[in-house]
Amino acid sequence: MKMAFRNLYITDFDHLVEQSTDATDIWESQTPLDAVSAYDQMLANCDQLKQYGALLDGSHPFNRVSGFAIESDEDYTQFPGIKSPAELDSSRTLKFLMWGSPHPNASSSNSDFHGSNATSSVYKTNAFESMAWLAPSGSIFMAFPEKYRVEMYQPMHDLQATNRILVCGKMLSRYYTPMASGNGMRFPVPGSSIDGVMVSMLLLPEHMKYLTMVGDRIDFGSTAFKILNSLSDTEFGVALGVYDLSLEMELFHAMEIHT
DSSP per residue over 35-79, as a string? SSBHHHHHHHHHHHHHTTT-B-BTTBPBPSB-SS---SHHHHHHS
Q: Is the pLDDT of residue 172 over 90?
A: yes
Instruction: Express as a percent the part of the chain with pLDDT over 90.
Output: 67
Burial class (CB in 10 A: 0-12, 13-18, 19+), 59: exposed
Q: Is residue 162 part of a domain?
A: yes
Residue 105 is predicted with a pLDDT of 56
Q: Is residue 142 part of a domain?
A: yes
Residue 118: Cβ within 10 Å count: 13
Q: Is residue 2 part of a domain?
A: no
Tell me the average pLDDT of the chain: 89
Least confident of 69-78, 96-105, 211-220: 96-105
Instruction: Please report, to the nearest 10 degrees, the dihedral formed by the alpha carbons of residues 43, 49, 53, 58 taken in order.
Output: -10
> What is the tally of structural domains in the chain?
1
Q: Is residue 64 part of a domain?
A: yes
Q: Is residue 184 part of a domain?
A: yes
Tens digits of per-residue pLDDT, 6-30? 999 999 998 888 877 666 676 656 7
Do residues 192 and 32 make contact, with C-beta atoms less than 8 angstroms apart? no
Helix (H/G/I), strand (E/B), else coil: 247:
coil
Q: Is the pLDDT of residue 2 over 50?
A: yes
Q: Is residue 240 part of a domain?
A: yes
User: What pTM was estimated for this model as a whole?
Assistant: 0.93
Range of the domain at 141: 8-258
Specify the DSSP element, H or E, that contains 238.
Answer: strand 235-240
Mean pLDDT of 47-61: 97
Tens digits of per-residue pLDDT, 90-117? 999 999 999 998 877 544 444 567 777 7
